[in-house]
Amino acid sequence: MSFTLTLISAPANPAVDADLVAKVRSIVSVDTGFDWLMEGVACDFVIPSHPDLANLRAELHTALSQRPVDIVLQPSAGRKKKLLLADMDSTMIQQECIDELADEVGLKNMVSDITARAMRGEIEFEPALKERVGLLKGLSLDIVDKLFAERITFTPGGKALIHTMKANGAYCALVSGGFTHFTSRVRTLLGFDEDRANLLIEEDGRLTGEVGMPILGKDAKLARLNDLIRERGLDRSETMAVGDGANDLPMILNSGAGVALHAKPKVAAQAQHVINHGDLTGLLFIQGYKAEDFVLA
């Protein structure tokens, strides 16, 4: 079985230069094929065989630890995936929507602390969500338009990721522990095939402080992964999942290519692939797509 070693940096901060390529070749110390995915940004080394892949991975991480480069080592076969499940908050967008809502009632610091603890896996997600939503009671939902206009920013590479995978026959699902008021907009703007999230209960245009049941948490994300595998007749190896928080771990660990994107330590420590430096185009490079393959609109 041959393996592919991929070096990935952010297109906004290219870090894969000739010296780095030479350094990696010396560490691998076997004949490898080489291919640029995006010159200066990402490249592939095809390794026909290697006596000790585990130690090779560790040696590469040590040698490149001071470089803004992510390292992915995987079997060469079956890299392109037919299903993507993606988290929304701090993954497809750069904010936590509930924290931004809380800012409108002067409670962002309190709510952000609860959010961070839940994402690190220190407290259970469901009760933490109920507690945070309770603090938003009375908030007008008109604020959603304002937040999208003034605060919500998309993680670079998101539209290219979704459009490229869909152009190649993949199905893309947005599965969030956040709220449908936000996921419906992100789905439309980025091109997802579906979105699933929690429902904020409202009366007369204001939040009641309650969330619809059952809460969409880690078990629901995994269940949607399993349902889509069955519905679309896929093998689990043909799937990819990406997220950053503890509630994303089950779908990350049970997909063919689980990606921790700028993730909490608990998530990064367990995921198959870790993107700490790249953006969402890193998920395309993991699959072997080249920059000229990207679909941007």
Axis-axis angle for helices 180-190, 158-167 (nearest 10): 60
Res 50 pLDDT > 80:
no
Domains of the chain: 1-77 (3.30.70.260)
Q: Are 45 and 8 in contact (CB under 8 A)?
A: no
Per-residue pLDDT of 278-295, as tens digits, reads 999 999 999 999 999 999
Mean pLDDT of the 37-66 span: 89
pLDDT in tens, 108-122: 999 999 999 999 999
Q: How confident is the model at residue 1 (pLDDT cuts 50, 70, 90)?
A: confident
Instruction: Please report the pLDDT score of residue 51 as a whole number.
Output: 66
- Give the pLDDT score at 269: 96
C-alpha distances in angstroms, 152 versus 90, 94, 136, 148? 10, 7, 18, 5
Determine the pLDDT at residue 262.
98
pLDDT for 4: 95
Residue 208 burial (C-beta neighbours within 10 Å; 0-12, 13-18, 19+): middle
Which amino acids are annotated catalytic?
87, 89
Rounded distance between C-alpha atoms, residue 82 and residue 100, angstroms = 33
Model confidence over 199-221: pLDDT tens digits? 999 999 999 999 999 999 999 99
CB 56 within 8 A of CB 74: no
User: Is residue 54 pLDDT above 90, yes or no?
Assistant: no
pLDDT exceeds 80 at position 30: no
Phi/psi for 296 (5° steps) reads -100, -10
Q: Token pair for residue 242?
A: 């990406």
SS3 content of the chain, % helix, strand, coil (to 5): 40, 25, 35
Segment 224-237 shows an average pLDDT of 98
Residue-wise pLDDT for 68-111, tens only, equals 999 999 999 999 999 999 999 999 999 999 999 999 889 999 99
